[in-house]
Structures are given as structure tokens and as C-alpha cells.
Amino acid sequence: MKIIAIIPAFNEESRIAAVVRDASSFVSGVVVVDDCSRDNTANAARSAGATVLRHAINRGQGAALQTATEYALNRLGAEVVVHFDADGQMQGCDIPAMVEPIETGAADVVLGSRFLGKKTNMPMARRVVNRLAQWFTVAISGIRLTDTHCGFRALSRKAAQELTITLDGMAHASQIQDLIVVRRLRYVERPVTIVYSAETLAKSPSSMRAFAIVKDILKDKLITRV
């Protein structure tokens, strides 16, 4: 199957090349969306073999995923789309197990989980934020998951076509869960290893992240969809 990894990236010059190379070993192609980075992310990704798309303004991870999805489906003929992060926290070697339920026809969407089986070195503050997000997501979307905000996903072509992301910021994870329910897509969770280093933690503090997610979801529910 034609598997395309899509990687939103913002100021990831020092990490993106290794990430592209890692993912490339397990997929047919890699698309990086450079979201108006101020550093050399685009060139680093391109020299590692990725197709690089660029947003003229910074629009956030959700919008970048949507841009890359459209490219992967319409230009590259992707049969499976894998959402993958640019900062080295995800492991390419997890991709085959993530894609397998789609290849066998068992699911339309596979959601990575940091809490299924594999050991995690996720800090306590992040676990608390994730637990709150879990409750929030059940209340809002009615979907029950062990990990609501893991950005590692695999989508069949059909699912990628149906899950149109309209939330630009970080709340796309909740929107994807909403749409899985609305579109009645078959989903499963699979264990993935997410690596936490001091560098990646410093980049996105838990409190800021939780606030940003809640703000985006409320904006979507209260304003966009009325």
C-alpha cells in the first residue's frame, strides 16, 4: 500500500532531517509542511528527502496536517496517511504496527496511545493534563480513548478524505475524534513510544498546551459551529 507520512514542522531545523530519514524507512513518501518557520526547517527536510510544502503564515499544526493530507491524497495517491511529529518524539519503527489494522481492513483510523502496554517516561504534569483531556473529550465527543492527544495516527484514504481538519491550532486532535464519531469510522488504538527529552518538554509546556487546546475546542463549539 502507498503509505505517506505527513509531518507538520515549526522551527525544527535541528531535528527534522533525522525524523524524515527515520520515517522514510517505513513509508513510501514523506511530506513536511513548514509552517512559516523562522529557521532552516524547509531546507533540512528537503535535503533529507521529504517533499516540502510551506505556509506563508504560521497557521498551526491542524492546518498543516490538512494541507499535507490534501497533497498526499490528491498529488501522491496515498492509500494510507500517517500523522507524524517533526521533533523526534515519535519512532518510525512504530509505523508498521500503526498501519497494520488499515492494511488488513480492520480499521479506518488507528490512534497511537502512550498508555497501552509500552512504558512511557511521560512526566506527571503531562499525565494529569492528558487525563483531564480524556474526560473533556468523552463529554464533548463521546469517544473513550486511553490517550486523547497523541498526534501519532494512521488513516485510510477514505478516513483521510472524510476527516477534514478546520481547526488551525492544537485542538485538531479533538476535532478528529469528533469526526470519527460523526462519520462512523472504525477506529482502534495501538501502543506507541513517545520519547520525552528536556528539549522537547521545554518547547511546549503542559499548562500552555492544555490552555491552548481548551481555548481552541471552545472556540470551535461556541463560535464556528453555531
Applying CB under 5 A, which residues contact Mg ion?
Answer: 87, 89, 200
Looking at the Cβ atoms of 79 and 90, the one nearer to ligand GDP is 90
Q: Is 130 in the site for ligand GDP (CB under 6 A)?
A: no
| Nearest-angstrom CA–CA distance, 52 and 211 | 30
Which residues are registered as beta bridge partners of 53? 33
Q: Which stretch binds ligand GDP (CB under 6 A): 2-10, 128-136, 178-186, 211-219?
A: 2-10
Q: Which of 3, 6, 22, 35 is the binder for ligand GDP (CB under 6 A)?
A: 35
Site for ligand GDP in 49-78 (CB under 6 A): 58, 60-61, 64
Strands 29-34 vs 80-83: parallel, antiparallel or unpaired: unpaired
- Full strand arrangement of the beta sheet holding 51-54: 51-54, 29-34, 3-9, 80-83, 153-156, 109-113, 187-191
| Nearest-angstrom CA–CA distance, 112 and 133 | 15
Q: Is 94 in the site for ligand GDP (CB under 6 A)?
A: no
Instruction: Tell the smallest beta-carbon distance from residue 114 to Mg ion (Å).
Output: 12
Crossing angle (nearest 10°) for helices 61-74 and 172-182: 50
Q: Which does 209 bind (CB under 5 to 8 A by kind): Mg ion, ligand GDP, none?
A: ligand GDP
Q: Is 184 left (phi over 0), alpha (psi -120 to 50) or beta?
A: left
Instruction: Tell the smallest beta-carbon distance from residue 119 to ligand GDP (Å).
Output: 18
Site for ligand GDP in 4-33 (CB under 6 A): 8-10, 12, 33
Which residues are registered as beta bridge partners of 191? 113
Q: Which of 151, 154, 167, 178 is the binder for ligand GDP (CB under 6 A)?
A: 151
Exposed/middle/buried for residue 103 (C-beta within 10 Å: 0-12, 13-18, 19+): middle
**Which residues make up the interface to ligand GDP (CB under 6 A)?**
8-10, 12, 33, 35, 58, 60-61, 64, 85-87, 89, 151, 200, 203-204, 209
